[in-house]
Structure 1
Amino acid sequence: MEFRQYADVHDFALQAEPILTEKEDVYSLFFGVLQAIKAGRYDNPFMATIEEDGKVLALMQMTPPHPLNLIIVDEKRIEGIVDVLIKKLVEFRIEMSSVISLKAWAYRFAEKWEVKTGTVHKLLMDQGLYRLDKVNKALQQSPGKWRLADERDSPLIEGWFTIFEEDTGLPITSLEEVKKRVSLFISEQEVFLWEHDGKVVSMMKKARPTEHGVTVSFVFTPHEERKKGYARSMVAACSTELLRNYNFCVLYTDLMNPTSNKIYREIGYNRIADSVQLGFVMPVSH
């Protein structure tokens, strides 16, 4: 097996995209980030393959400080693939604090990484990946309607961005960086808002478009507006809008939150895979 690291995203894409397009929904995160690397949105991405006789056995991608995204193409060879990957990560001193992958792959990597590095893993996100092809038209809609966010909404979205990170246990982004990101989201017309009686009560954004699909992310309703059906109505209506331009939508859910999983199933989203993000830390010595 040969480990190959790529400096040129277009060379990497030639190897990766034929595999990604075969399972565009399951590999939507990897595929979408690859498109963003192509567009110059990330500095110094890590891109690599493990190959044998010209055949790609695994794909790896990382945009620090985000996790290493791992795809095992030939699952029968997973033991050898993970051994080669870990050997090269250590040899080249590639900094990696977490991995995101389908559940079985992530845990197999974690077991071997712990043995090699002396770290222990912790579960950062236990996620279900859902796909939508058609919205359930029988859903009862909550009062209000959707609209795209514009610049006047920036302060509200910036505040919600931070609360969302706190609620989901994500690392807190600096206010300066949040302002930059929100400005870009709005200029790219990526943020959808649900408005009732002139008040914005919920939001979501589209992310990581691929050739046929798009991701729904950052679904947020402030605490005082929850349990009124706003998020469900917004995701249903805005997913319908997105399906005008894409064949399908995907989204990740927190499997520890049965309410959100139930809501998405009611809209018409179907669970297609389980994904985890595992972080690695040195054990605390006593």
Structure 2
Amino acid sequence: MEFKQYADVHEFALQVEPILAEGEDVYSLFSGVLQAIKAGRYENPFMATIEEDGRVLALFQMTPPHPLNLIFVDEKRVEESMDLLIKKLLQHEIEISSVISLKAWAYCFVEKWEAQTGMTHQLLMDQGLYRLDEVNETLLQSPGSWRFADEGDCSIIEKWYTIFEEDTGLPITRIEDVKKRVAAFLSEREVFLWEHGGKVVSMMKKSRPSKHGVTVSLVFTPHEERKKGYARTMVASCSTELLKSYDFCVLYTDLMNPTSNKIYQEIGYKRIADSVQLGFIMREIH
């Protein structure tokens, strides 16, 4: 069993993309970030595998300050692979602030990491991963229609982006970085808006396209427009549009929010996995 760290993203991709393709829906986050690394959007990414006799047993990826993403291919070798990963992370003094993975893998890693480092963890995001192949056509529609966002929508999207982070407990992005991200979203026509009576009342975006699928994210409705069905109708309508180009859509939900989980299931999204992001903090010494 050998730990291999990669400096060349294309060499790394050659090793891991066949595995990602086999689990294209479940591994959509890892795959999407890998494509972004290829496109030069991240500096100093951490990319590594554990291999044996030319076979990949596990793959890892991190774009600081974002979480370390873990995938284990051989379920019988998970703990063995994890022990080797932790040994190498400590040996090379690679800092990690959080980890994201399927729930069982993430909690197993955390237990081992805490034993080695004396750190403790906190739950950052408890997520359900959902997949959509076909929209429920019998869904009751709210009034309005969707359109792609354009430059004239920058200010409202920037404002909603920050409120979305506040609502979901995510770290707040600096406004100058929000402006850059929104500009990039618009240049790629990634943001969908729902309008009713000439007023923008909800938004969502597409991200991380893969060979057969695409991710739906940043679904947001301001407080004063909630409970009117706008988000559900928008996600249903825009997912229908996305399914013209892709075989399936995926999205992550906050499992602590039963309302959003219910809405997505009504649209036709089916839960395929549970994912969790766990952050690390130093244990207090009394």
TM-score, length-normalised on structure 2? 0.99
Q: Which residue matches 2:41?
A: 41
Q: Which residue matches 2:169?
A: 169
Q: Which residue matches 1:71?
A: 71
- What amino acid is the match of 1:243? L
1:135 is paired with a residue of what secondary structure? coil
The 2-side partners of 1:144 and 1:162 are apart by: 25
Deviations 1:9-36 (CA, angstroms, capped at 9, x unpaired)? 1100011100000010000000111111
The 1-side partners of 2:47 and 2:179 are apart by: 28
Q: Which residue matches 1:249?
A: 249
Q: Which residue matches 1:268?
A: 268
Q: Which residue matches 2:128?
A: 128
- What amino acid is the match of 2:136? N
2:7 is paired with a residue of what secondary structure? coil
Correspondence 1:108-147 to 2 at 5 A: 108-147=108-147
Q: How far off its partner does 1:284 sit?
A: 1.8
1:170 is paired with a residue of what secondary structure? coil
Q: Which residue matches 1:83?
A: 83
The 2-side partners of 1:137 and 1:53 are apart by: 49
The 2-side partners of 1:273 and 1:88 are apart by: 28
Uncovered stretches (5+) of structure 2, i.e. residues with no partner: none
Correspondence 1:172-183 to 2 at 5 A: 172-183=172-183
Q: How far off its partner does 1:75 sit?
A: 1.0
Q: How far off its partner does 1:41 sit?
A: 1.1
Q: Which residue matches 2:209?
A: 209
Q: How far off its partner does 1:285 sit?
A: 2.3
- What amino acid is the match of 1:285? I
The 2-side partners of 1:78 and 1:187 are apart by: 41
Q: Which residue matches 2:187?
A: 187
The 2-side partners of 1:65 and 1:18 are apart by: 27
Aligned residue pairs, count = 286
The 1-side partners of 2:185 and 2:284 are apart by: 40
- What amino acid is the match of 1:209? P
- Is 1:92 aligned with 2:84? no
Q: Which residue matches 1:225?
A: 225
2:216 is paired with a residue of what secondary structure? strand
Uncovered stretches (5+) of structure 1, i.e. residues with no partner: none
Deviations 1:58-101 (CA, angstroms, capped at 9, x unpaired)? 00000111000000111101111010000000001111010000
- Is 1:55 aligned with 2:55? yes
Question: Which contiguous aligned blocks of 4+ residues in structure 1 show a shift greater than 2 angstroms?
Answer: none
The 1-side partners of 2:142 and 2:285 are apart by: 53
Q: How far off its partner does 1:137 sit?
A: 0.3
